[in-house]
Amino acid sequence: MRSATVWARVRLGAERVPAGVYDGVIALAITAVSLLLGNDRVPAGWSGLDPPGVALTCAVNLPLAARRRFPSTLCLLVLAGWSVYVALDYWPVVNSLGPLLALYTVAALRPMRQAVLCALLLAAVWNLAGTTGAESSWATVLGQSVLYPGVLCGFGHLARKAARRNVELDRLTDQLRSERAGAERRAVAEERVRIARDLHDVVAHHMSVISVQAGLAGYVFDSDPGTARGALGTIADTSGEALAELRRLLALLRVEDGERPEDGGRCVGGGDDDRPVFGPAPGLGQLPDLVERVRGAGVPVRFTVTGEPRSPAPGAGQCAYRVVQEALTNVLKHAGTARADVTLAYGPRQLTVAVVDDGPGSAGAEDGRTSLPPAAGSRQPGGHGLIGMRERARIYGGRLYAGPRASGGFEVRLILPA
């Protein structure tokens, strides 16, 4: 494990070193090897290194430091210097590494036709070297003049394809990173919209209940103290529930380590370590409490369940709860002393939630669209609450119909797939 870590660090450091530094080190290393080989025992028929030979060796190998900048031109210069070196009867093997590396560089960085031309020139110089010396073998020279250039061109071509593939992968990686960042930004924006919608529903509903109860308490404060105390108790309960809902929603925006709400839950109290504990978000199971709270605010509400009850997905259940909450809030705010009916119908393939009241409304409208100006005291279906209901229904693949009824009153109907 430690060796793998060290190797990873070495690779990371190597990626930060410019390519020109590598090429310069390689050129110096090849020059040093060539000079050492030229001063070793030279086979019969060839001359050992002298000052002109040393100068030619340096001229052949040192320019390799710029091999990536001018591959084809540099390969021609190296082959020309090696040809002069061979023509002066120096041992050709001494400077064979430089031309081979130059040919590989052309094959790796330039089109194949340029690499083939350079390979033919290298083979010609190699055959020229076969005419010198007393121990030359034409069969060996011909084999090497074909084998080495061919192998180097093949490896260079593979390296060129790999480099292009890496460039394409880098481009795709940048594109995916950009798309992921965009998706994250969109997800954050959508989550903020959802939280803002929940805040609207919570504040509008609970404040409507509190407003009605406060007005009732003020009206009967002297004549009926018992009713006033009951209204104040309802205000206390409603405000406490509203605060709990607001804490749950705000915790989604301000989550610290160890304070992550689970399952989008609702704050129900503190834990042993003074951190909030979150329960389930409101759903169909909390509809009776919602109806009872609206009843306490003075609106007669009848709650009916038909079909075989079952548990929907948490998101769909919360969607149905919020739609009923917003619809009953509108009854509190706009319908005065109207009666309301909340119906929860479980069908084989869909869940239907309907909120109907007999308050004032505009007749002749359908699906939230009015063709006549609304009368005084009636509700305009184009408000933000109804827009939020439709957005919630659309998220979970459902449909929402809202508008005045032909027989009077107002209806909100939500249909969700089961």
pLDDT tens track for 333-380: 776 668 899 999 998 888 999 999 987 654 333 334 333 233 333 444
CATH number at residue 398: 3.30.565.10
Residue 63 domain flag: yes
Three-state DSSP class for residue 44: coil
In this prediction, residue 341 carries a pLDDT of: 92
In this prediction, residue 379 carries a pLDDT of: 45
Q: Which of 79-88, 224-233, 322-331 has the lowest mean pLDDT?
A: 224-233
**What is the distance in angstroms between the CA of the first residue and the CA of the last residue of the chain?**
52
What percent of the chain lies above the pLDDT cut of 70?
Answer: 78
Q: How many domains, the chain?
A: 2
pLDDT band at 128 (very low <50, low <70, confident <90, very high): confident
Question: Between residues 368 and 68, which one has the greater pLDDT?
Answer: 68
Residue 145 domain flag: no
In this prediction, residue 381 carries a pLDDT of: 44
Q: Choose one of 90, 113, 136: the last residue of a domain.
A: 136
Long-range contacts for 44-48 (Cβ within 8 Å, ≥24 apart)? 44/133, 44/134, 44/135, 45/89, 45/132, 45/133, 45/134, 45/135, 45/136, 46/89, 46/90, 46/91, 46/92, 46/132, 46/133, 47/88, 47/89, 47/90, 47/91, 48/91
Tell me which residue range forms the domain holding 69. Answer: 2-136
pLDDT band at 264 (very low <50, low <70, confident <90, very high): very low
Q: Which of 189-193, 260-264, 334-338 has the lowest mean pLDDT?
A: 260-264
Question: Between residues 344 and 226, which one has the greater pLDDT?
Answer: 344
What is the distance between the alpha carbons of residues 201 and 322, in angstroms, rounded to a whole number? Answer: 7
Question: Between residues 366 and 23, which one has the greater pLDDT?
Answer: 23
Is the predicted pLDDT of residue 6 greater than 50, yes or no?
no
Mean pLDDT of 202-219: 76
In this prediction, residue 354 carries a pLDDT of: 93
Mean pLDDT of the residues in the chain: 77
Mean pLDDT of 160-185: 89
Q: Choose one of 136, 153, 184: the last residue of a domain.
A: 136
Residue 236 domain flag: no
Mean pLDDT of 5-14: 46
pLDDT tens track for 277-306: 555 677 888 889 888 888 877 788 999 999
In this prediction, residue 272 carries a pLDDT of: 46
**Structure tokens belonging to residue 366:** 């359908």
User: If you ran DSSP here, which 8-state letter would residue 205 be given?
Assistant: H
In this prediction, residue 134 carries a pLDDT of: 57
Question: Between residues 14 and 165, which one has the greater pLDDT?
Answer: 165
Q: Choose one of 120, 136, 152: the last residue of a domain.
A: 136
In this prediction, residue 305 carries a pLDDT of: 92
Q: Are 92 and 141 in contact (CB under 8 A)?
A: no
Residue 210 domain flag: no
In this prediction, residue 386 carries a pLDDT of: 74
In this prediction, residue 373 carries a pLDDT of: 32
Residue 201 domain flag: no
Residue 290 domain flag: no
Residue 238 domain flag: no
In this prediction, residue 133 carries a pLDDT of: 62
Query: Which residue do the tokens 């020229």 mark?
Result: 128
Is the predicted pLDDT of residue 150 greater than 50, yes or no?
yes
Question: Between residues 411 and 264, which one has the greater pLDDT?
Answer: 411
Residue 53 domain flag: yes
